[in-house]
Structure 1
């Protein structure tokens, strides 16, 4: 009996050390005793990853909200009409980024039917909104960098919106089909009771299936990355910097996506730690959303109120021209001198003009 107890203790010790493997009968340190156990990760000081991601996501929400207000408020001060036409798409991008920061909380909270459904559906949709806006912006930049004029702003926005709606349709159909397949395809409750209903939960969807449902989002990311390269080769150089912003953002996003997909589909299973699936998704959301803010949103906001070179040239053409009293006097004096000279030439006798032609004075050419 002593040997059996020792073996059970040795086998159970690794499971005890895994995060979330031990059921908590009491509130952890930092959480209120009356708090629903579903939200323990938001305040559990022993598992600091939830608190850290909560703080990072909260700072991102505040930053994105301030940038959105600033971008909308700067609309009357935008002097370049071509930049003004892209503001709608950029605000749409900011709303998608704000949604990514908010979705971090759904990944920190412990899984249930509602949180898992929101993760599975909104993860792809929000990323599709951001990458669709980048694709639409790249499309406009390829026209601007070569012709200095591109499609209208509403056309660029409609392109981003339609590309995002494709992912909405894909995710809706995928989620419904997956749940119906997991539930056995029956309209009524399964015969073996609540255990089969558990398999129909969105939390029971395999990690590989979740990643496979994001193929369209990866395609959008690849299109934005490849489309940013030609935008660096046009003859209107002032648009190239915007292509650099998109290229840097998409390259960082590709690196983040490669890392999280490898960890989510292979790394966690190899280390027998599926409890790190939720932190993997939450870290991905926070990291990629901050990459959007730092490498795309802030540089674009800093460029939005700058005038175009044509407007700067027109402003420098008459730098001292004004409507002051001295300017009016100078103009009137010049006009009066011109009128006097013209009147003197008209009153000059014809004989004097003829003598001057025949015998011009010395030094007259």
Structure 2
């Protein structure tokens, strides 16, 4: 009965299209905003699955595998989870949806932002995040949020024996480490953007330099939009909705819209573009082998004849010498 009163006060009444046999906690699924969120988030989830399949097929077909592909797969997996998470917020709060909200929200965003931070470190050339160690850095950073969320669930929900009774401020404070990851990833992306725009290296070609600039700009744009979305939904959840008198009514829709919008920002800004970059790098033909036709070893070359000039090569000198020898013989005969 308390759940029915909560749903009716939150959503007004049973929406049109919901059957009488449907439980009250599922009524928001039939509402207009619930249907819109489900459609948009479902499209994002399917897009993430398609991109992951493309990467897996690339890894199976291309012999030259990229070390950053596992980290990209981890990022797409977290983004797909973000698109699936709004369903737990559309359905009314219950002992079954509460652990999913509390645990999965911070962990999924922690994995996504940790992957972006690890990617930024790898682009900067940090030895800790090079090659296959990039995915290890992302997993290690995300494990901190897993420990924080697990401890919060055990302490608040089990020890205090409260059935999912927490304020919106407590939910926002649970995401402090995720916000730290977001800020660190943004600072790393800005540093990489400055590095690509200011410095110049002769080891990079023009195409690689342009691609690095585009990759840095997209990474910064993705993290900036994510920061704005987080600032908006935290402000509305902790202060704005209460100030406008919409606190119980708009809390779940705000989080659902923020989840869906942030998921599309992550997918379009980093996931889709990184898959395109990976496919282009794998499809780029290798440099043709050097052609040594016509080249001969120095030992096989015939030695050049010495160009030595002798006196006999001078015709004038030879004629003069012959004339003097003939005059000397004539004098001897006469004498």
TM range (shorter): 0.7 to 0.9
Q: CA deviation at 1:182?
A: 4.5
Q: Paired residue for 2:55? A: 71
User: What is the CA–CA distance in structure 2 between the aligned matches of 1:32 and 1:75, rounded to whole Å?
Assistant: 47
CA deviations 1:307-349 (Å, max 9, x no partner) are 49xx87x72676xx79xxxxxxxx6xx69xxxxx96xx99x9x
Deviation at 1:150, TM superposition (A): 7.7
Q: State whether structure 2 residue 68 is matched by structure 1 residue 92.
A: no
> How far apart are the structure 2 equivalents of 1:160 and 1:75?
20
Check the 8 A contact 1:79/1:306 in 2, yes or no: no
The structural deviation recorded for 1:229 is 1.5
**1:219 lines up with 2:180 in the alignment:** yes
Contact 2:182–2:223 (CA<8 Å) still a contact in 1? Answer: yes
Cα-to-partner distance string for 1:224-270 (whole Å, 9 max, x where unaligned): 00011121214353433322222111000000001101111111112
TM-score for the superposition, normalised by structure 2: 0.76
Contact preservation (8 Å) 1:78, 1:307: no
Match of 1:293 in 2: 267
Q: Is the Cα–Cα contact under 8 Å of residues 64 and 94 in structure 1 kept in the other structure?
A: yes
Measure the CA separation in 1 of the matches of 2:133 and 2:7. 56
Match of residue 60, structure 1, among 44, 49, 54: 44
Structure 1 unaligned blocks of 5 or more: 1-14, 184-199, 323-330, 336-340, 361-365
Checking the alignment, whether the CA contact within 8 Å between 1:132 and 1:160 is kept in structure 2 is yes
Superposed CA deviations along residues 196-229 of structure 1, whole A, max 9, x for unmatched, are xxxx122x21000110111000000000000111
Q: In structure 1, the residue corresponding to 2:279 is in which secondary structure? A: coil
3-state SS of paired residue (2:156)? helix
Range moving further from structure 2, 174-183 or 119-128: 174-183
Does structure 1 residue 36 correspond to structure 2 residue 11?
A: no
In structure 2, distance between residues paired with 1:94 and 1:357? 88
In structure 2, how many angstroms separate the alpha carbons of the residues matched to 1:306 and 1:136?
Answer: 22
Query: How far did residue 21 of structure 1 move?
Result: 4.1
Aligned partner (choices 215, 225, 229) of residue 190 of structure 2? 229
Task: Name the SS for the 2:93 alignment partner.
Answer: coil
Native 8 Å contact 1:41 1:50 kept in 2 = yes
Report the count of equivalent residues.
294
Q: 1:315 aligns to what?
A: 287
Determine the structure 2 residue equivalent to 1:187. none
2:204 aligns with none
Per-residue deviation, 1:17: 9.8
Matching residue of 2:225: 252
Q: Secondary structure at the match of 1:113?
A: coil
Which is greater in Rg?
2
> Which stretch of structure 1 is more off in the superposition, 70-79 or 289-298?
70-79
TM (norm. structure 1) is: 0.70
**8 Å contact from structure 2 (residues 75, 115) kept in 1:** yes
